[in-house]
Structure 1
């Protein structure tokens, strides 16, 4: 597996680390439990980590030297794809297949796949054209460079794994993905970490939260695409509709700043709207601690403008917490509308406030939704996701074998020169 721009060892909710990091770690562990050895390659950032680390039995993280050994912004990463690929090709271990994550890794995967003569499976996680169609005010669109790069990866991959049918359709309609090479594999949830546990009261006691508070939770990176401004405005509308809630309303925000948005803009907006005192800033936390936050909350709010799946929604439901989410991307798959949570079409803060007010007034409904949420999440394990992924791997390998024998048509040619792997004017040409 390849992850050029972020390490699977990074804390989700910080920098560029998020659901994709959780996906890689949990899928790799589940694959290993089914007999698949996994090496996760990422870039060495000079953080004092050894070149090789065991993540779990059968899963290793390998750090390649490509570019400066320090953290770099994502905008600098295209320049490092070729050095990363060349370092990768020096590996002497024989691999059966390469699975890339995000478009930068997909570019490296194209080179490695050809150099090693093995299939390339690619998971996009997010797509530039989808993100650009759902930008927040003032958010920076994804550049044409990325769009071209994504199209190349889509064209060259032996198999594409989409999280949902909607994502598969976006790959086909926006990027020209061939339907026979596009497979839907739903992500899962770690049911050993995320579960009801000892219940809400015990979780609040451990976190030092008021027992009688109404707690809508936000968990994830703080960036415009995730809609934290929608949450802040919804809280202001909620208090306008039901001012009596102010004395018992608490909104924890668990996550760190990320992306192109201005750092602190969420909190400035909260001050402007007079709701700063009901918001509680909390740093990103490990998965076990995050599960406690889910259990302590009355509802998880996910107002994202775009979301390939929304793992946080599935994690919260596994802990017995209903979800109030935007009806975008994979969230309608992750959340059973009206049963394990509620979906909102659009991003009108008033609509979110109305549903929050209803949830605050109907505690028994929250309990019923929470019980349904647990049942819903238990049907989406990483074990199931890994089994489906193995099927995709075997199909990709079988397809490559048929092409090697002269049967059918496919991609066994040298990859075309990559979409200019530089952000500088998007004009530079890289030669390998």
Structure 2
């Protein structure tokens, strides 16, 4: 079962997802052959396009291929001709044209390429119910061919936090789509209160945005309240979560939001924008309560108000914390993600055998 991603060493939710299912699928009975193809996707150079074409051409007729949408949807001229011979499953983490900040012409081109690819393959996998519905409606896909395999999460110890109030953590690459500038602007309105915030994530995906964010922080005189340590993983990231009292995510677009469930797995309440698939990740505790606070996207007043409520109302904090701990017990592990994917792959394998 070959699969393809761009750079599996880069810290991102999509790469973490791909890595975990490559590790988990063998436990469901699949033999996995992993192929990572670097090349600036979704705008690859000639060498990357040629490498992908050669890889697909070498595969035997009827082979089941799980391929990341970052690759497959970028080059329909390479992928679509193989769709009649191979059993292609495209895994879509984020629709290509939905990336924030794209030139409109480029977004339209990526969108058209994605549509051509997804309409040609026998199965598409999305990482949330929202994303599946978006793909079906936007690209006119057969809903029976679009499946959902939600990200899992690894159970972790309950976070000790600091004082239960003041330590905020935002885990997200510093990009316009994650909209950390909204968080900075909102926290500037409560600068009279004691808090600190760590923004953990890549600082190099959009250097201009990162520079602008640093300038914004300095302009508000909050340099001693924010830290931007860059990407973290392993014990370092675990330590950041362990010290957090509240996880914050102010994204403009999010197909799911794995960092939300990573926080909830530690019993950390979440303040997040109610955008796209994020409410699915936040979810509800068994009693129906929300484990944190959801605010409308691009609504500074709502975000400001939510932060002030968090800092000033002990009842909000205690209810959010208890709800987060109850929600923690409901989270599914990565083995369920692998099983969901395995069911899609097995269905294609059975269809191939029937037509052989």
Secondary structure of 1:161's counterpart equals: strand
Query: Which one has the largest radius of gyration?
Result: 1
- C-alpha distance in 2 between matches for 1:155 and 1:354: 44
Whether contact under 8 Å (1:291, 1:316) holds in the other structure is no
Secondary structure of 1:264's counterpart equals: helix
- C-alpha distance in 1 between matches for 2:21 and 2:325: 21
Assess, with a 3 A threshold, how the Cα gap between structure 1 residues 19 and 95 changes in structure 2: closer, same or farther: farther
Secondary structure of 1:277's counterpart equals: coil
Secondary structure of 1:216's counterpart equals: strand
- C-alpha distance in 2 between matches for 1:34 and 1:73: 32
Q: Deviations over 1:352-377 (max 9, x none)?
A: 22212222234564354334324424
**Residue number among 208, 216, 219 corresponding to 1:272 in the alignment:** 219
The number of residues matched between the two structures is: 347
**Residue number among 382, 385, 389 corresponding to 2:341 in the alignment:** 389
- C-alpha distance in 2 between matches for 1:37 and 1:265: 46
**Residue number among 174, 182, 185 corresponding to 2:149 in the alignment:** 185
Whether contact under 8 Å (1:154, 1:160) holds in the other structure is yes
Q: Which residue of 1 aligns with 2:117?
A: 153
Deviates more, 1:99-108 or 1:84-93: 84-93
**Residue number among 11, 23, 40 corresponding to 2:17 in the alignment:** 23
Q: What RMSD over aligned residues (CA atoms) do the two structures have, in Å? A: 2.8
Q: Which residue of 2 aligns with 1:380?
A: 332
Assess, with a 3 A threshold, how the Cα gap between structure 1 residues 356 and 303 changes in structure 2: closer, same or farther: same
Unaligned regions of 5+ residues in structure 1, if any? 13-17, 45-71, 205-210, 406-432
Q: Which residue of 1 aligns with 2:86?
A: 118
- C-alpha distance in 2 between matches for 1:307 and 1:394: 29
Assess, with a 3 A threshold, how the Cα gap between structure 1 residues 154 and 112 changes in structure 2: closer, same or farther: closer
- C-alpha distance in 1 between matches for 2:220 and 2:103: 25
What is the CA-CA distance between 1:43 and the residue it aligns to?
A: 2.5
Whether contact under 8 Å (1:19, 1:311) holds in the other structure is yes
Q: Which residue of 2 aligns with 1:295?
A: 242
**Residue number among 331, 334, 342 corresponding to 2:278 in the alignment:** 331
What is the CA-CA distance between 1:275 and the residue it aligns to?
A: 2.2
TM-score (norm 1): 0.72
Unaligned regions of 5+ residues in structure 2, if any? none
Q: Which residue of 1 aligns with 2:95?
A: 127
**Residue number among 290, 293, 311 corresponding to 2:258 in the alignment:** 311
- C-alpha distance in 1 between matches for 2:302 and 2:85: 52
Q: Which residue of 2 aligns with 1:417?
A: none
Assess, with a 3 A threshold, how the Cα gap between structure 1 residues 388 and 113 changes in structure 2: closer, same or farther: farther
Secondary structure of 1:285's counterpart equals: coil
- C-alpha distance in 2 between matches for 1:346 and 1:219: 18
What is the CA-CA distance between 1:93 and the residue it aligns to?
A: 8.5
TM-score (norm 2): 0.87
- C-alpha distance in 2 between matches for 1:2 and 1:292: 32
- C-alpha distance in 2 between matches for 1:286 and 1:153: 33
Assess, with a 3 A threshold, how the Cα gap between structure 1 residues 118 and 127 changes in structure 2: closer, same or farther: same
Q: Which residue of 2 aligns with 1:97?
A: 64
- C-alpha distance in 2 between matches for 1:115 and 1:160: 12
